[in-house]
Amino acid sequence: MLDKQSKIYVAGHHGLVGSAIWNNLKARGYDNLVGRSHRELDLTDQVAVKAFFDEERPDAVVLAAAFVGGIMANSLYRADFIMQNMKIQCNVISEAYAHGVKKLLFLGSTCIYPKNAPQPMKEDALLTSPLEYTNEEYAIAKIAGLKMCESYNLQYGTNYIAVMPTNLYGPNDNFHLENSHVMPAIIRKVYLAKLIHDGDWEAIRKDIGKRPVEGVSAEHSTEEILQVLAKYGIYDNKVVLWGTGTPLREFLWSEDMADACVHLLLNVNFSDIIGIEKYSSVYYGTSASGVVDRNHSEGRGGAIPSLGEIRNCHINVGTGKELTIRQLTELIVATVGFEGEVEFDSSKPDGTPRKLIDVSKLHSLGWTHRVEIEDGVRKLFEWYQSTLV
């Protein structure tokens, strides 16, 4: 198991989940952490990733880096969503294995489940029927990632854990209108519509200056700012949102997600998940240079027929609670203090009608959520405002 001196590489440590995991590990006394920004290390670059692992040789890896976005981004950048994520996963997981990493935690998404999966979705709903079309490429990439973890464990006796979080929100969330997720997008739209109505152009320019929209920033004219905001359904005291508002969604505070991830990283092994104490016995010899000799192995897990079929070893991470997009919007409207009109454009796609996950496996492994949605929305809006000061 990992101790306080173990070197832990957090891939994506500036992102929503990665930063929360980093802070959670720090709070628990794990100070030997390694992180690289995208500028410092492009995880889609196989040669660069190998060089990083050669240099740092971490004991554990948290793979929280990904190419992500909402419905609009998934629709526009389908090739990017599958290719970028596959490259990241293949590079990091293969180098983790090649460098003898003791523990790896892979973060996926509940969009891996079929569009019409029985609700709440259990882990064994995976690959039972077609996916939601609007995020199919991202889902396929994440399914491949969890299968990589599962397969490495079964073939090589590694200890790689795959977690599938529900919709996440929290500090360091993405509020850029062009590719943000539903909650931060609605918060920003409602807030800007309120500011336009209030005539608070100082605050509007701070907002646009911090997060430009299609290249339009604080230096542009009032007319140019209003024109670009209108493209995203933001008007004077009015907001237009995509879809009908009827889809049901589950949301998890990112710091809760981080706590769940660290709990699993430190306390749960692959053998705990599949219920077999010692599912394989693998030994790797090393050459004089310290490189793993893959040809020297015994008892590959995947070659033990007595274990039967081992699949769906990933873990759902969420609250097990849901609300409609309309209900979420009403909660945001009340939190922001918006008194204008909210209109839903039913000509635009809704995405998956319902995405509630079964979290009984997670609970059985010793973790439950703490932050409820009402407190979470307030905390996220306060964090967003703090970035504009």
Residue 207 identity (one-letter amino acid): D
Q: CA 23 to CA 21: how far, in whole Å?
A: 5
Say if CB 59 and CB 102 are below 8 A apart: yes
Q: CA 112 to CA 146: how far, in whole Å?
A: 10
Q: Which of 97, 113, 138, 235 is catalytic?
A: 138
How many whole angstroms from its chain centre is CA 40? Answer: 21
Q: What is the DSSP string of 65-112?
A: ------HHHHHH-HHHHHHHHHHHHHHHHHHHHHTT-SEEEEE--GGG
Q: CA 176 to CA 159: how far, in whole Å?
A: 36
Q: Which long-range contacts (CB under 8 A, 24 or more apart) does 144-147 make?
A: 144/86, 144/89, 145/63, 145/85, 145/89, 145/93, 145/106, 145/108, 146/106, 146/108, 146/112, 146/313, 146/314
Say if CB 281 and CB 298 are below 8 A apart: yes
Q: Which residues of 263-304 form beta strands (DSSP E)?
A: 285-286, 292-293
Q: CA 339 to CA 329: how far, in whole Å?
A: 12
Assign residue 269 a region: left if phi > 0, alpha if psi is -120 to 50, beta otherwise? beta
Active site residue 30: no
The catalytic site residues sit at 138
